[in-house]
């Protein structure tokens, strides 16, 4: 009884009831008449109510009320409110009355969401506690035995379960369907998310620490300096892995748990990539390559700026800076959102790290994994079965986080000798390890 309709591709935020939007957009059959008025009229929350009426008509009568082959005909019918109900239909008068009250040309006369739920159609019953698949083909037999009193109880229970009577939530400027689900998925599916939204996002880079070899390359390609970037940590990590595999490196046994990308929101189709680290810091990697970090429970910020000479420059400041007001607003918005709606990547408690100024230099969104490259030489891979593996200390240590958020950090040498992790093995470790090495090699362009 908890139907979710999710299509927020053209969603926007309206901060108050007196504000309006003027963009003409939407699927023709569902556009409200005031949207067609464009800049001369403007539109607000009422367009969502109109869409509810359109969907109700389509569900009960089999097609949208203004449907036509020609889009312009649809628009003319919407403007003139020309629609009707099939005479042969057995849909109740209460339902027809509700649709009529919703599809009012004047948005001020349109029912509100609360008024819709108070309409007689919802009160007349019968309203079941649950419905089965038999309702797809025929009227469920159980409806005949539900009293009006039971219907009212079931309806109120349904509203309570989906949070209708709870305090209203603030709208968020996020495509929620693009967030990583907390439910484990099958190993390495064909696409990162439904309908493969990877093409909507671009890889976000940050500049390379230049050396004598790469300096000429950067000078000759100034326009591409934000694209062809990697630093010496990639080479060092790849070399260390080779040394460990050949058993030419002495074994280190202890290290701090690596700083993890614990929560994240990919919003690079507009601003950039928001993330929260396991050390408590929140960061935002903007599409142009620079970052802004915010310390946990403090108004201390670090602005990380791309530099063609040294790779990155950092500037620390406390409190509010007017010239960075927009960036601070974005960081704090996503900080609130992630703290409220997303869970940590592991069950380990918060701890103080020696280096708190760790930031995300680049992230890559691939078919089989997400790859995070941190400024301290760590590489985190989030696989699609919700296992996460981190190479840290320039490849000398490796960490496994299970879907149940158990974490195990070991020297890479130990894991390779054992063929897997000790306490929390990953059934597909060998496959993923090869994926990781291949990803590092592919990123090394110089």
Query: DSSP class of residue 21?
Result: B
Across 283-302, b (16+ Cβ under 10 Å) vs e yields bbbbeebbbbbbbeeeeebb
- Our CA angle for 293, 296, 299, nearest 5°, is 70
Beta-bridge partners for 266: 273
Q: Are residues 241 and 326 in the same domain?
A: yes
Q: Which of 91, 124, 157 is the last residue of a domain?
A: 124
Q: Are residues 331 and 415 in the same domain?
A: yes
> Residue 186: its pLDDT value, please?
34
Residue 12 covered by a domain: no
Give CA separation, 274 vs 2, 172, 227, 307, 367, in Å.
Answer: 30, 14, 19, 21, 20
Domain that holds residue 214: 199-443
152: left (phi over 0), alpha (psi -120 to 50) or beta: alpha
Residue 180 covered by a domain: no
CA–CA gap between residue 312 and residue 305 (Å, rounded): 6
Residue 346 covered by a domain: yes
Q: Are residues 95 and 214 in the same domain?
A: no
Q: Are residues 282 and 428 in the same domain?
A: yes
Q: Are residues 267 and 395 in the same domain?
A: yes
**3 state DSSP class of 343:** coil
Give CA separation, 335 vs 199, 300, 375, 382, 413, in Å.
Answer: 26, 14, 20, 21, 37
Residue 37 covered by a domain: yes
Q: Are residues 104 and 206 in the same domain?
A: no
Q: Are residues 104 and 250 in the same domain?
A: no
CA–CA gap between residue 358 and residue 285 (Å, rounded): 12
Q: Are residues 284 and 389 in the same domain?
A: yes
- Our CA angle for 281, 287, 290, nearest 5°, is 55
Instruction: Give, for all 446 residues of the chain, the pLDDT tens digit.
Output: 667 767 777 777 777 777 888 888 888 999 999 999 877 889 998 999 999 999 999 999 999 999 999 999 999 999 999 999 998 999 999 999 999 999 999 999 999 988 999 999 988 778 888 888 888 888 888 888 888 888 888 888 888 887 777 665 544 433 333 334 333 333 333 333 333 334 444 555 544 333 333 333 333 333 343 433 445 778 889 999 999 998 887 667 777 789 999 988 888 777 888 999 988 899 999 888 788 898 876 778 888 887 666 567 778 887 777 778 888 888 888 888 888 877 776 555 433 334 457 889 888 888 788 899 998 889 999 998 889 999 998 899 999 999 888 999 999 999 999 999 999 999 889 989 998 998 998 887 64
Structure-block tokens of residue 346:
């592991």
Q: Are residues 112 and 227 in the same domain?
A: no
> Residue 196: its pLDDT value, please?
37
Residue whose pair of structure tokens reads 């590489």 in the numeric block: 379
End-to-end Cα separation, the chain, in angstroms: 56
- What is the number of domains present in the chain? 2
Structure-block tokens of residue 143:
């409806």
Query: DSSP class of residue 350?
Result: P
- CB–CB of 150/158 below 8 Å? no
| Cα 177–chain centre separation | 6
CA–CA gap between residue 207 and residue 222 (Å, rounded): 11
Q: Are residues 114 and 214 in the same domain?
A: no
**3 state DSSP class of 316:** strand
Residue 372 covered by a domain: yes
Give CA separation, 270 vs 152, 173, 282, 413, in Å.
Answer: 44, 10, 18, 42
Residue whose pair of structure tokens reads 């299970």 in the numeric block: 402
* Residue 113: CA count within 13 A, CB half-sphere: 11
Find the CATH number of the domain harbouring 48. Answer: 1.10.510.10
Q: Are residues 400 and 297 in the same domain?
A: yes
Residue 14 covered by a domain: no
Q: Which of 124, 155, 173 is the last residue of a domain?
A: 124
Beta-bridge partners for 365: 370
Find the CATH number of the domain harbouring 226. Answer: 3.30.1120.30
Residue 176 covered by a domain: no
Q: Which of 93, 124, 155 is the last residue of a domain?
A: 124
> Residue 79: its pLDDT value, please?
94
Q: Are residues 308 and 398 in the same domain?
A: yes
- Total residues found in the chain within this entry: 446
Residue 5 covered by a domain: no
Compute φ and ψ for 129, nearest 5 degrees: -70, -40
- This prediction has a pTM of 0.53
For residue 442, what is the enclosing H or E element? Answer: helix 429-443
């Amino acid at each position: 009884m908890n139907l979710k309709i999710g299509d927020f591709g053209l969603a926007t935020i309206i901060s108050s009831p007196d504000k309006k939007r003027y963009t003409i957009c939407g699927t023709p059959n569902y556009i409200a008449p005031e949207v067609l008025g464009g800049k001369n009229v403007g539109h607000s929350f009422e367009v969502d109510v109109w869409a509810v009426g359109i969907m109700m008509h389509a569900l009960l009568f089999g097609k949208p009320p203004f449907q036509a082959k020609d889009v312009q005909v649809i628009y003319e019918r919407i403007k003139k409110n020309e629609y009707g109900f099939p005479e042969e239909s057995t849909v109740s008068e209460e339902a027809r009355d509700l649709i009529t009250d919703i599809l009012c040309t004047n948005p001020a006369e349109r029912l509100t969401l609360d008024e819709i739920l108070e309409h007689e159609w919802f009160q007349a019953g019968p309203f079941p506690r649950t419905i089965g698949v038999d309702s797809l083909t025929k009227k469920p037999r159980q409806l005949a035995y539900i009293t009006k009193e039971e219907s009212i109880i079931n309806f109120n229970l349904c509203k309570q379960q989906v949070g209708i009577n709870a305090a209203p939530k603030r709208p968020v400027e996020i495509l929620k369907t693009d967030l990583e689900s907390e439910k484990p998925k099958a190993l390495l599916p064909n696409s990162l998310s439904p309908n493969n939204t990877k093409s909507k996002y671009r890889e976000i880079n940050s500049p390379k620490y230049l050396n004598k070899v790469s300096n000429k390359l950067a000078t000759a390609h100034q326009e591409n300096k934000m694209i062809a970037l990697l630093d010496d940590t990639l080479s060092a990590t790849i070399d260390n892995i080779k040394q460990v595999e050949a058993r030419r490196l002495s074994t280190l046994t202890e290290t701090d748990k690596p700083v993890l990308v614990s929560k994240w929101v990919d919003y690079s189709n507009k601003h950039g990539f928001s993330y929260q680290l396991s050390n408590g810091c929140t960061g935002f990697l903007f599409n142009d390559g620079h970052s802004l970090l915010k310390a946990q429970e403090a108004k201390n910020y670090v602005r990380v700026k791309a530099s063609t000479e040294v790779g990155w420059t950092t500037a620390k400041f406390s409190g509010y800076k007017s010239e960075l007001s927009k960036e601070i607003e974005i960081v704090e918005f996503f900080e609130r959102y992630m703290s409220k709606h997303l869970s940590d990547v592991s069950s380990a408690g918060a701890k103080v790290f020696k280096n708190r100024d760790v930031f995300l230099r680049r992230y890559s969104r691939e078919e089989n994994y997400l790859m995070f490259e941190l400024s301290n030489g760590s590489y985190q891979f989030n696989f699609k079965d919700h296992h996460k593996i981190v190479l840290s200390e320039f490849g000398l240590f490796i960490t496994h986080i299970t879907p149940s958020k158990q974490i195990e950090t070991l020297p890479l040498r130990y894991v390779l000798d054992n063929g897997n992790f000790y306490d929390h093995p990953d059934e597909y470790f060998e496959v993923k390890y090869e994926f990781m090495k291949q990803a590092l090699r592919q990123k090394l362009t110089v």
